Chain A
Amino acid sequence: MGIRYIKEPGLIDPVMIAAWPGIGNIGLIALDTLRRSLRAEQMAHIEPYEFFYPRKVIIRGGELVELDFPASDFFYHRNGRSDLILFIGEEQPAEGGGVYATGSMAYGMANLVLDVAEKYACRRIYTSGAAVSPIHHTARSRAWAVPNSPNLIAEFKSYDNTVLMSDIEGRGGGGNIAGLNGLLLGIARRRGIDAVCIMGEIPVYLQGFPFPYPKGSKSVLEVLSAALDMWIDMEVIDEMARQSESELTRLYEKLPDEIKQQLDRLKESTVAAAESEGLITEDDKKKILEDIDKFFKHDGGGEQH
């Protein structure tokens, strides 16, 4: 068991980009949008059996006709310069049943993804996910970049709308990247492959909701466009972001005034303003999250679920 190749295309100086589900499905939506716009073709998949329990059975006339597992697919796109391998995982293999990969299965899957990267001599790997941030949903999401080597810092500092962990107030350059987005960086380093995780910001108050957040995905695509020196069609992601913001604004209007006032303070939140007074404190953040959770569970907003 392991990787099954459908095709083994010849690729020039390829780069791999990988994504799994996570908060707001930011990485997954970014990569799926890219895959569709490039019309990338499937080249391989990871056999699911060691990693996943089946997610769906289809029975017709008393006969079991299909058992469906989460897919972990590799796609490729040739651009004649620096080709792309895209990896899209529909689930993270989690031993404890959580959303994020854990344990030996996570390590096994990360290594299989990197086996493909090594086979094709990928010069760099990008993973993508969400950065939970004290921003307002009307604000532009930034992209947080976390490289697995200090040599990459200068490059990512130079990109528009991109920040490093050390740029985020209170983090001191530290933090944690949950699941395979993080694990892949670490294992890639062990194999001597450069890797960077690009995380699009999602408002802190949306982190627990099952909504996609395409604004965060767009910020990931913008960094990838710059880093790959490649034009990416943003029309689809822009439309998704518009729809998402419109839905969120509709929902926002239903919030009690007290919560809205708290959240409105996030509109002031920027990197430069982060050290100013009057922004949201950790206590404020906790209270907002509790209030919003209470609101969605008990007081309204049910139509969105």
Chain B
Amino acid sequence: MSGEEAIRLSGSPDMEGSVLIVAWAEDASSLAERTADYLIQSLGCREFGEILPEGFFPMGGVNVVDDVARFPQSKLYVSDSKGLVIFKSSIPRMGWHRFLTSLLDVSEQDCRVKEIYTVGAMISSAAHTVPRLLISIVNNKEIKAALEPYNVVGDNDYETPPGQKPTLSSYLAWLAGRRGIPAVNLWVPVPYYLVPIDDPRSVKRLIYFFNSKYDLGVDFTALDAVIAEQNNKIAGLFEKSPEIKNMVRRLEVGEGLDGEESEQLAREIAEALK
């Protein structure tokens, strides 16, 4: 099957020099998906295509999550007025090269993409009250320089440890680089106790970056309301449990928690944020 056959488009977007944001599902606190969803909704993006699942996902049945059968999805959305393309996708389980090549083909040929971003979460031991960092991995020096005004941390050294594999985002950035397309992997460290729940502050950090850099005019009202609601619930927990409050304070000053404390914190925060 060729790259063209892997993609189904319902009308190409009419744009020159767009920006592509790639959001893989299933990362910590569903950060990438939530970020993509907020942008899609607030910018009124329309769906215009998808990568078909055959050859990329095992067709041995479906997963059931929260009582609902789920099927892998890999969909393209566009905001014509903002020159923004969003790709929201399950992580393919096979045929990675053809999958990413198909995405790059449609990005180059149909959307005239000039820059690619992937967004995702890292797990952090920091407290939720600490400002979120934005960490970048780039595929060329020029785009690294272009990120400097946006308070992005971009000086990390890393090598994949034995027994682990590079991320799909790294693979995409590398393939984009071979085509001369600048690409950035953006990572936000998410407090570990928010990983199974939601971390709207991290969502805001990412959207704030895109809003500043590309003048998207995003309305943050709904996101701020989610952050305020989460703050209130955690504040309520602190009132009921000084012990939990103290644990978070210790994380704020960089003191670690032992295994039992870490579990207790995660459990009680999850309960409070239900």
Contacts and interface: CB of A to CB of B under 8 A. Distances in A.
A64 B166 CA distance: 11
B160 A56 contact: yes
Contact of B170 (A49, A57, A60, A62): A57
A64 B159 contact: no
A67 B174 contact: yes
B29 interface: no
A54 B165 contact: yes
A63 B144 contact: yes
B176 to A, nearest CB: 10
B158 A57 contact: yes
Interface string A45-65: 000011001111111111110
A64 B171 CA distance: 10
Given A59-B157, A63-B139, A54 B170 contact: yes
Contacts of A58: 158-160
Residue of A50, A59, A60, A62 with most partner-chain B CB within 10 A: A62
Interface string B220-255: 000000000000000000000000000000000000
B213 interface: no
A67 B170 contact: yes
A245 interface: no
A268 interface: no
A56 B165 CA distance: 6
Contacts of A60: 157
Interface string A92-134: 0001000000000000000000000000000000000000000
B58 to A, nearest CB: 9
B165 A62 contact: no
B160 A57 contact: yes
Contacts of A67: 166, 170-171, 174
Interface residues of A, number: 16
Given A62-B136, A64-B177, A57 B166 contact: yes
Interface of B: 94, 96-98, 136-141, 144, 153-160, 165-167, 170-171, 173-174, 177, 185
A215 B141 CA distance: 50
A57 B159 CA distance: 6
Contacts of B153: 62
A62 B137 contact: yes
5 contacts: A55-B165, A57-B159, A59-B156, A59-B157, A64-B185
Contact of B138 (A50, A57, A62, A95): A62
B94 A63 contact: no
A-B CB proximity, top 6 nearest: A62-B154, A57-B166, A49-B97, A67-B174, A59-B158, A56-B160
B156 A62 contact: yes
Interface string A159-177: 0000000000000000000
Contact of B144 (A49, A57, A62): A62
A56 B173 CA distance: 14
Contacts of B174: 54, 57, 64, 67
Given A63-B139, A64-B185, 20 more contacts: A49-B97, A50-B97, A53-B165, A53-B171, A54-B165, A54-B166, A54-B170, A55-B165, A55-B166, A57-B174, A62-B137, A62-B138, A62-B153, A62-B154, A62-B155, A64-B170, A64-B177, A67-B166, A67-B170, A95-B94
